[in-house]
Amino acid sequence: MAKISVMGTGSWGTALAILLHNNGHQVMLWSAHPEKAASLNQTREDPKKLPGITIPDGIVITGDEKTALDSPDIVVFASPSAYMRAISKRLSPLIRRGQIIVNVAKGVEENTLMPVCDIIKEEIPQADVCVLSGPSHAEEVSRGLPTTCVVSARKKETAEYLQGLFMSPVFRVYTTPDMLGVELGGALKNVIALAAGTADGLGYGDNTKAALITRGIAEMARLGVKMGAKLETFAGLSGIGDLIVTCASVHSRNRRAGYLMGQGYTMKQAMDEVQMVVEGVYSAKAAKALAEKYDVEMPIITEINKVLFEGKSAAEAVIDLMVRDKKVETPMLPWEDGQKTN
């Protein structure tokens, strides 16, 4: 049994706290807002974020970070990526040297272009920062529905230790050494999901969604490899796996926000309607900036930025994607007649 503190009472943090409790660990759940902790302690339920899910009595809920960070074996950081720097800075003085921190947020910071783990490392340099990601909606994990994820760390031993803590008959965990690829897959897929949701809102069909998912993973992989990540990671759980579930699921807040924009909502109206943090909106500008920095063509990312921040209509963006210059899908493959792809 491990002593685990989950920092963040959003839907994902709460779902992971329940999973880890059911795995037999001693779990504490911390909220940055003491009033939220008090409310959860009283009701043992968050009807807005996880309706119908009861937080087991064995999970201690607190609004006191000193209590939460009193010698845990591991700490799970589950705050939204947009708030991760502020949370990390706040908690850093309480984190001991060598503390294992598992980041489960997905995003890239707009002004620094840092993935979340790099943000945490910068603010808490004494910690051993790892990442857990994959196709894993909190609504399903909290209900014990079968789910698979991947964990990555600097050391194989650490990754295997975390694999053992999280793994259960309903939550299968794989390991990989490619932390950057895992993080980029989790962040970039949220932006592509906005585009997929927008297509749904416009009334387009499965063909359109399949095209966005397929070309979306191509964009994600091109950028990731240019940044030093491994191509194989984008064919795995944190890449194509997470992209599929986020683009297709009714649980996806990014898809839902995109759907509303396809229906004519503004970005702000869509985010207000979803009532939860839409990570793709925060990562969209960063994704475009990364594409420009590394000179990688990412037309879907470019168009979703124009819809989000430049007032371009979603329908017009789809048309512009369709009428782009002709391309070869697999430029790395030779033709039988020996000619090379331009």
Catalytic residue among 49, 106, 189, 209: 189
What's the CA gap between 88 and 77, in Å, rounded?
A: 9
Instruction: Please give the backbone phi and psi of residue 214, each rounded to the nearest 5 degrees, phi first.
Output: -70, -50
* Eight-class DSSP state of 239: I
What's the CA gap between 119 and 228, in Å, rounded?
A: 18
What's the CA gap between 49 and 78, in Å, rounded?
A: 14
Q: Do residues 152 and 177 touch, judged by C-beta distance below 8 A?
A: yes
Q: Do residues 130 and 102 touch, judged by C-beta distance below 8 A?
A: yes
Contacts of 231-235 with C-beta under 8 Å, sequence gap 24+, read 232/178, 233/176, 233/178, 233/181, 233/182, 233/185, 234/181, 234/185
Indicate if 293 belongs to the active site: no
Q: How far are the Cα atoms of 124, 222, 327, 329 from residue 335, in angstroms, in the given order? A: 51, 22, 15, 13
Spatial neighbors of 49 by CB under 8 A, at least 6 apart, are: 10, 11, 14, 138, 276
DSSP assignment of 95-119 equals: PPTT-EEEE----B-TTT--BHHHH
Token readout for 33 is 């807002």
What's the CA gap between 260 and 274, in Å, rounded?
A: 9
Rg over alpha carbons for the chain, rounded to the nearest Å, is 20
Q: Do residues 232 and 287 touch, judged by C-beta distance below 8 A?
A: no
Catalytic residues, by residue number, are: 189
